[in-house]
Amino acid sequence: MERVRFAPSPTGPLHIGGLRTALFNYLYAKKHKGVFILRVEDTDQNRKVEGSEEYIHKSLEWCNIQPDEDPFKGGEYGPYRQNERKEIYAQYIKALLSNGKAYYAFDSNDELAIARTEAERLKGAFKYSADNRKEFRNSLSLSTDESEALIEKGDYVVRLKVEPNQDVVTCDLVRGVVRVNSNELEDKILMKKDGMPTYHFANVVDDHLMKITTVIRGEEWLPSLPIHQLLYDAFGWEEPQFMHLPLILNPSGKGKLSKRDGDKNGYPVFPMAWNESSGYKENGFIPEAHINYIAQLGWSLGEKEILSLKEMENTFDVKAIQKGGARFDYEKAKWVNQQHLAALSEGELINRYNPYFEELKEAVGEQLNAAVSLIKERLVLLSDIEKEADCFINDPVDYDAKSLKRIAKIDISKVGSLLKEGITDNEIEKLKDFMQKSGEENDIGLGAFMQVLRVAVVGSLSGPNLIPLLTVIGKDVTLRRLERLISVQS
Ligand code: GLU
């Protein structure tokens, strides 16, 4: 049974990268008929941001990718918040201290700062390791009595004892075998002075205890993998599989996608509103489209890019995950939204987004479905509904200047009066035949009729399919709008 987890730290809202990690975990679980877990990694209380855990839950709910086990639902392997698992970590750190894979370190922050400055002066990076650990104050360098007295005071951290010159071999499903020499690693802190575990320690202990089979996370965690591997080895545990997802780059491809870039270029980076920043939801994206686009950040879907969540669950394939950075493209995100909106039936669209259609319903009554079918084809975002529905509801107030210029050569009063006659005498469905016939008789092109009518009805040369639009608004409204254009323009 595959078990995967999404393990965010509640240090702010979920951004595009976090949502992609959650989604890929979810898809992997579904594909393998496994379990998707949400674990909240809140060991760093100083970085905790009020409301972010709820935000993460709500965003996953909006995207319809809900966990099978999480802090609210619970599950067999809880608690699912790390800050509620302190006793567990205390017990496991003891195991490493007693099997010699970890040790106590008593150095003060000042002592470490001095060592760091000195290393930098010599143009090196400071690293607490087998190389220099004897020069520091720890249970490997001090006498047993000295150490015990300091341990008694409780003023210590616990560090991983990394053996020098070992070949540390890890394996990533996307990148294959990754090797490093342990001399490049440092004796990472596993337990802080306040008794809280660090990310590395809590993460490995929990992945093991929660029986995680595959760890799927962002590439920024790849450098931590050797340390995690050493921790699995230190416990004598079998490690899970690992899959590190490629970075998400900003649209220019230079650098990581950031909130700053989003603010500057006018696209959201959060699924839902967070403080003053609006999210995809508020910007008129529908959730199935949003995750369909997010899925494309690092996963090449192949020919068919527009997929439902179910289809993605069935086709998700580790082999199709790319190594290189995935470039974010807001225009593409909008295009995907447009495709999903067009694929909804009129009924679904109206039911799901009822408030957007209230005014339209009042204006067109039973013709609502017909109107929505014409509007739907033209939507990129839900927020376009108001603009697109306007011509079904209101007579144009102003005429678009560019459109007027384009019809300037047409004799509006002549074309207009012919149109008035045609509309009065014919069914709207037959209007095109009339225009053709009358056009031949009066040497007026079909285009001229259509353009005048469109500007009269919509206020510009854009808008939905004209004859069906006229059918919805009816003859009276059409004639009224036509008369107004004639009176204003001729
Ligand atoms: N808490 C880490 C984060 O915020 C999780 C990394 C992991 O999945 O191991 O991204």
Pick the CATH number of 3-73+205-248 from 3.40.50.620, 3.40.30.10, 3.40.50.410, 3.40.710.10: 3.40.50.620
Distance of CA 45 from the midpoint of ligand 1 (Å)? 15
Q: What percent of the chain has pLDDT over 90?
A: 98
Residues in the chain: 490
pLDDT at 418: 97
Mean pLDDT of 321-349: 97
Structure tokens at 409: 């050569």
Structure tokens at 228: 């995690």
Give 31: exposed, middle or buried? Use CB within 10 Å, 0-12, 13-18, 19+. middle
Mean pLDDT of 233-242: 98
Structure tokens at 265: 């270029």
What does the DSSP assignment read for 32-78? TT-EEEE-B----GGG--TTHHHHHHHHHHHTT---SBBTTTB-TT-
Distance of CA 337 from the midpoint of ligand 1 (Å)? 29
Cα–Cα distance for residue pair 255/437, rounded to 1 Å: 61
Cα–Cα distance for residue pair 31/308, rounded to 1 Å: 14
Cα–Cα distance for residue pair 286/300, rounded to 1 Å: 21
Distance of CA 8 from the midpoint of ligand 1 (Å)? 5
How many other C-beta atoms can be found within 10 angstroms of the C-beta atom of residue 320?
12
What does the DSSP assignment read for 293-314? HHHTTTB---S-----HHHHHH
Ligand 1 binding pocket mutation candidate from 41, 201, 205, 225 (most atoms within 8 A of CB): 41
| Closest protein CA for atom 10 of ligand 1 | 8
> Global pTM?
0.93
Mean pLDDT of 367-373: 97
**259 included as an active-site residue:** yes
Is residue 479 within 8 A of residue 423, CB to CB? The reply is yes
Which residue in 104, 230, 246, 94 sits closest to 166, CA to CA?
230
Cα–Cα distance for residue pair 349/369, rounded to 1 Å: 10
Which ligand 1 atom is the nearest neighbour of the CA of 5?
A: 8
Distance of CA 218 from the midpoint of ligand 1 (Å)? 8
Is residue 199 within 8 A of residue 82, CB to CB? The reply is no
Cα–Cα distance for residue pair 311/303, rounded to 1 Å: 13
**pLDDT at position 301 over 90:** no
Distant-in-sequence contacts of 86-91, Cβ < 8 A, 24+ apart: 86/195, 86/196, 86/197, 88/205, 88/209, 89/191, 89/196, 89/197, 89/201, 89/202, 89/205, 90/195
Break the chain into its structural domains and give their ranges. Answer: 3-73+205-248, 87-191, 249-340, 346-393, 401-489
Architecture, CATH, for domain 87-191: Alpha-Beta Complex (3.90)
Which residue in 415, 413, 432, 418 sits closest to 471, CA to CA?
432
Active-site residue identified among 31, 192, 211, 259: 259
pLDDT at 124: 84
Ligand 1 pocket: which residues have CB below 6 Å? 7-9, 41, 203, 217, 221
The CATH class, in words, for 401-489 is mainly alpha
For residue 358, CA distances in Å to 154, 353, 355, 368, 455 come to 66, 10, 5, 10, 25
Ligand 1 binding pocket mutation candidate from 203, 204, 228 (most atoms within 8 A of CB): 203
Q: Name the band, by pLDDT with cuts 50, 70 and 90, for residue 302.
A: confident
83-117 pLDDT, tens per residue?
Answer: 999 999 999 999 999 999 999 999 999 999 999 99
Mean pLDDT of 415-424: 96
Kind plus residue range of the DSSP H or E element containing 478: helix 466-489
Pick the CATH number of 249-340 from 1.10.357.10, 3.30.70.20, 3.40.50.1390, 1.10.1160.10: 1.10.1160.10
Spatial neighbors of 133 by CB under 8 A, at least 6 apart, are 140, 141, 187
Mean pLDDT of the chain: 96
pLDDT at 307: 97
Q: Name the band, by pLDDT with cuts 50, 70 and 90, for residue 490.
A: low
Cα–Cα distance for residue pair 226/86, rounded to 1 Å: 24
pLDDT at 283: 97
Kindly state the DSSP code that residue 93 receives in the 8-state scheme: H
Beta bridge partners of 159: 103, 189
Strand order in the sheet with 102-105: 102-105, 157-160, 189-191
What's the distance, CA 233 to chain centroid? 35
Distance of CA 9 from the midpoint of ligand 1 (Å)? 7
Which ligand 1 atom is the nearest neighbour of the CA of 216?
A: 8
Which ligand 1 atom is the nearest neighbour of the CA of 217?
A: 8
**pLDDT at position 303 over 90:** no
174-230 pLDDT, tens per residue?
Answer: 999 999 999 999 999 999 999 999 999 999 999 999 999 999 999 999 999 999 999
Q: Are strands 102-105 and 157-160 parallel, antiparallel or unpaired?
A: antiparallel
Is residue 63 within 8 A of residue 27, CB to CB? The reply is no
Kindly state the DSSP code that residue 308 receives in the 8-state scheme: -
Give 44: exposed, middle or buried? Use CB within 10 Å, 0-12, 13-18, 19+. middle
Q: What is the largest CA-CA distance in the chain?
A: 113
Give the gyration radius of the chain's Cα atoms: 32
> Given phi > 0 = left and psi -120 to 50 = alpha, else beta, which region is 165?
left
Mean pLDDT of 37-62: 96
Q: What percent of the chain has pLDDT over 70?
A: 100
Cα–Cα distance for residue pair 195/189, rounded to 1 Å: 11
Which residue in 48, 392, 75, 396 sits closest to 212, CA to CA?
75
